[in-house]
Amino acid sequence: MNGTVFCNKCGAPSPQNAQFCSRCGTTLNPAPAAASGIPPGAPAPAQPTAAGYPPAVPYQYAQAGVRYGGFWVRVLAAIIDAIIVSVVLAPLKVMFGLGGFALNGFDFHDFHGGMALPYLIFGTGVFALLKLSANWLYEALMESSSYQATLGKMIFGMKVTDLNGNRISFARATGRHFAKIISVLTLFIGFIIVGFTERKQGLHDMIAGTLVPRS
């Protein structure tokens, strides 16, 4: 069709002397580099767009071909983290596990055998609370830190990010940690689906809006 040019971007026809596409706003007749004062080989300036058409948006982090930590590697990382926390808490476990001995200052002469069971129950309860708190703080603090991962995840090159690849907050890391309770209540199906979802997300990842990319 004489006197008509077609947009290289959307294919819409426009008059031959038009500078911008009437549909998407793409420049149709850019000035030659020599006439515009741009040295040959220099990057071209950004082209203006028509009103109402926002500039192109880069791909989301999850669409950029990122590799994610799968089910088994995350299981191994979790085992390593559990060992680390257990080693750190071992002295407290010994102390509170002895129950009455701990509360009596380890004085075997003053210890009353009849109080052994109550003391043991009390010590076990206190230690259980300490372990729950330690697991939460360890995971939430590490994953919201500049490392973005627990030591177990770091060993395998994994990080915890939001859906755009950014560092998560302590609050989101806390929510992700306690959302694992739901994954447990689903007979661990919330963890198993890591091996089947497109971006290797567990149920707790979906709830918290997180990803676990792996380098």
Which residues fall within 8 angstroms of residue 191, CB to CB, at 6 or more apart?
71, 180, 183, 202, 203
In a domain, 2, yes or no: yes
In a domain, 47, yes or no: yes
In a domain, 65, yes or no: no
pLDDT above 80: residue 145: yes
* 35 shares a domain with 78: no
Q: What is the pLDDT of residue 59?
A: 43
- Identify any residues that bridge with 5 across adjacent strands, giving them in sequence order: 14
Cβ–Cβ under 8 Å, residues 51 and 23: no
pTM for this prediction = 0.61
In a domain, 75, yes or no: yes
* 185 shares a domain with 133: yes
Q: What is the pLDDT of residue 45?
A: 57
* 191 shares a domain with 89: yes
* 181 shares a domain with 132: yes
* 92 shares a domain with 195: yes
Give 8-24 pLDDT, tens digit per residue. 777 777 777 777 777 77
In a domain, 123, yes or no: yes
Q: What is the pLDDT of residue 73?
A: 97
In a domain, 142, yes or no: yes
39 falls in which pLDDT band (50, 70, 90)?
Answer: low
* 81 shares a domain with 10: no
* 29 shares a domain with 124: no
Q: Token pair of 115, please?
A: 């109080």
Select the more confidently predicted residue: 110 or 171: 171
* 85 shares a domain with 37: no
Cβ–Cβ under 8 Å, residues 200 and 194: yes
* 87 shares a domain with 41: no
* 50 shares a domain with 118: no
DSSP string, 49-97: --TT-PPPPPPPGGGS---B--HHHHHHHHHHHHHHHHHHHHHHHHHHH
29 falls in which pLDDT band (50, 70, 90)?
Answer: low
* 128 shares a domain with 42: no
What is the Cα–Cα distance from 47 to 176, expressed in whole angstroms? 43
Burial class (CB in 10 A: 0-12, 13-18, 19+), 52: exposed
Task: Give residue 26's domain range.
Answer: 1-57
Give 162-206 pLDDT, tens digit per residue. 999 999 999 999 999 999 999 999 999 999 999 999 999 999 999
Q: Give how many domains the chain has, as a whole number.
A: 2
**What backbone phi and psi angles, to 5 degrees, belong to 208?**
-85, -10
In a domain, 66, yes or no: no
Q: What is the pLDDT of residue 8?
A: 75
Give 42-65 pLDDT, tens digit per residue. 555 555 554 555 554 444 444 557
Give 62-108 pLDDT, tens digit per residue. 455 789 999 999 999 999 999 999 999 888 777 665 554 554 544 54
Cβ–Cβ under 8 Å, residues 69 and 156: yes
Q: What is the pLDDT of residue 129?
A: 87
How many CB atoms sit inside 10 A of residue 99's CB? Answer: 22
